[in-house]
Amino acid sequence: MFGYLWRRLRYLPVSLLLVLFITFSVLRLTGNPIDIYLDMNRTPEQVEALTQKLHLDRPLVVQFGIYLRDVVKGDFGESLQFGVPALEVVLDRLGNTIELVVVALGLAVVLGIAGGAIAALRRDKTADFLISFLAVLGQSMPSFWLGILLIQFFALRLGWLPTSGQGGLAHIVLPALTLAAYLIPNFILITRTGVIETSNEQFVVTATAKGIPAARVLLVHIMPNTLNPILSFLGLQLGKLIGGSIITESIFAWPGIGRLMVSSIFQRDIPVVIAAICIMCIAIVLANLLVDVALSLLDPRIREA
Partner 1 sequence: MWAPLKGLLATAAIASAVSAQAENLSVGLASFPESLQPGLSTNVSLNVNRQMMDGLTARDNAGMIVPNLAETWELVDDTTMRFHLREGVKFHDGSTFSAEDVKYTLDHALDPKNAYGMLGRISAITEVRIADPKTVDIVTAKPFPTLPVALADILIEPRLYAEKLGAEGQRRRPVGTGPFEFIRYIPGDRIELKANPNYWAGKPSIDSMTLRSIPEAATRISSLLAGETQIVEEVPVDLVQQVENNSALKANSVNTSVGLVLTYDVTKPPFDNPRVREALDYAVDKELILKEILKGKGEVLQGQLLTSNTFGHNPAVKARAFDPARAKKLLAEAGYPNGFSTSISTMSGRYLSDVDIANAVSGMLNDVGVKVSINVMEPGIFLKNLGSPARELGPIYMIGWYSFGDADFAMTWYTGSNRRTAWTNAEFDKLFSTARSTNDAAGRKAAYARMGEILHAENPSMFLFGVPTIYGVSKKLSGFQAPSDRVLRLNRAKLN
Site residues for partner 1 per CB under 8 A: 27, 30-32, 34-43, 45-46, 49-50, 79, 81-84, 89, 92-93, 96, 148, 151-152, 155-156, 159-170, 173, 250-253, 255-256, 259-260, 263, 266-268
Long-range CB contacts for residues 7-12, cutoff 8 Å, separation at least 24: 8/289, 8/292, 9/285, 9/289, 12/281, 12/282, 12/285
What is the rounded distance in angstroms from the CA atom of residue 188 to the CA atom of residue 115? 6
Amino acid, res. 80: L
Opening angle at CA 169, ends 183 and 180, nearest 5: 5
CB 87 to partner 1: min, Å? 13
Nearest approach, Cβ of 78 to partner 1 (angstroms)?
10
Residue 162 or residue 194: which is nearer to partner 1 going by CB? 162
- H helix runs in the chain, sequence order: 2-9, 12-30, 33-37, 44-54, 60-72, 86-121, 126-140, 143-150, 169-181, 184-199, 202-209, 214-216, 223-251, 257-266, 270-298, 300-304
Residue among 199 and 267 whose Cβ is closer to partner 1? 267
Q: Which is nearer to partner 1, 23 or 81 (CB)?
A: 81
The Cα–Cα gap between 197 and 276 comes to 42
Shortest spacing between CB 114 and partner 1, in angstroms: 11
Q: Which is nearer to partner 1, 3 or 159 (CB)?
A: 159
* Residue 18: alpha-carbon gap to chain centroid: 20
Cβ at position 60, least distance to partner 1 in Å: 14
CB of 86 to partner 1, least distance (A): 10
Please name the amino acid found at residue 256. Answer: G
Q: How far is the CB of 192 from partner 1 (least distance, A)?
A: 22
34/227 with CB nearer partner 1: 34
Closer of 133 and 160 to partner 1 (Cβ) = 160
Distance CA 50, CA 42 (A): 11
State in angstroms the smallest separation of the CB of 268 from partner 1.
5
d(CA 205, CA 224): 16
Please say which residue, 152 or 206, places its beta carbon nearer to partner 1. Answer: 152
